[in-house]
Structure 1
Amino acid sequence: MATRSTAARLRRTFHYPSDDGAADSDSDSSPSAMDEQEQESYIQRLTDRNRAQNTLMARILLLLPLLAAIPYLPALPSLPACLALSSLAATAYLLRRLPPAVTGLYPLDAWTGTGGAAGARGPLDQTLPYLNALLAVLLAFWGAAVAYKASRFDDAAGRSSTTRPGKDVSGALAWPVMCNLPAGVYAVVLLAKMVMADVDPEKELSALRYDYKGA
Structure 2
Amino acid sequence: MNVLQALFEAELHIAGRPILWREIIGNGFGIASAIGGMRRVVWAWPVGMVGNALLFTVFMGALFHTPQDLNLYGQAGRQLLFVAVSTYGWIRWWRAEHRSGEAVLPHWATGRQRAGLLVALVVGTVVFAQIFEYIGSYGNWAEAWIFTGSVLATYGMAKGWTEFWLVWLGVDAVGVPQLLLAGFYPSAVLYLVYAGFVVWGFAVWLRVQRAHPRHAAT
Q: Same fold (TM over 0.5)?
A: no
Q: Which has the higher contact order (CA 8 A, sep 6+)?
A: 1
TM-score normalised according to structure 1 size: 0.32
TM-score normalised according to structure 2 size: 0.31
Pick the structure with greater CA Rg.
1
